[in-house]
């Protein structure tokens, strides 16, 4: 799924803004060392409204989180294809340092993406 790859790459790119957070930096490194440069990734199924509720909450609770926009998302219109800027997914980096914050409670309500 391209959207999940976009979100994962965006998360790693944006994690550079958190280098002063030593604990987050440590957990990101541990996550990357779990396999061949990547860690466990869980893709959840969520509606746009659920994403729009969870991401601001996650950011307010200090999670590495954000919306992912595809600036050239293709939409077929008959024989034509147009591209639009579309929110395709989002990401939340959840590490063991977190407690039962509201973000994790909301994430547990979502099902795995089929």
pTM for the structure as a whole: 0.85
pLDDT in the model for residue 34: 86
Q: Please check whether residue 85 is in contact with residue 69, taking contact to mean a CB–CB distance below 8 angstroms.
A: yes
Mean pLDDT for 66-91 is 94
**Residue of 82 and 21 predicted with greater confidence:** 82
pLDDT in the model for residue 40: 84
Number of domains observed in the structure of the chain: 1
- Measured CA to CA, the distance from residue 21 to residue 54 in angstroms comes to 22
Mean pLDDT for 27-53 is 90
Q: Which domain does 34 fall in, by range?
A: 2-112
pLDDT in the model for residue 97: 60
pLDDT in the model for residue 114: 82
pLDDT in the model for residue 35: 80
**Residue of 90 and 3 predicted with greater confidence:** 90
- Measured CA to CA, the distance from residue 111 to residue 20 in angstroms comes to 33
Roughly how many angstroms between the first and final C-alpha of the chain, as a whole number? 11
């Amino acid at each position: 799924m391209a959207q999940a790859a976009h979100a994962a790459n965006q998360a790693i790119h944006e994690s550079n803004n958190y280098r002063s957070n030593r604990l987050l930096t440590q957990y990101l490194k541990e996550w990357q060392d779990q396999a061949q440069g990547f860690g466990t990734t869980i893709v959840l199924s969520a509606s746009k409204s659920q994403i729009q509720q969870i991401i601001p909450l996650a950011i307010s609770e200090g999670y590495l989180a954000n919306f992912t926009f595809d600036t050239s998302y293709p939409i077929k219109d008959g024989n034509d294809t147009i591209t639009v800027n579309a929110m395709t997914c989002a990401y939340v980096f959840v590490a063991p340092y977190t407690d039962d914050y509201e973000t994790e409670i909301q994430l547990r309500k979502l099902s795995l993406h089929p």
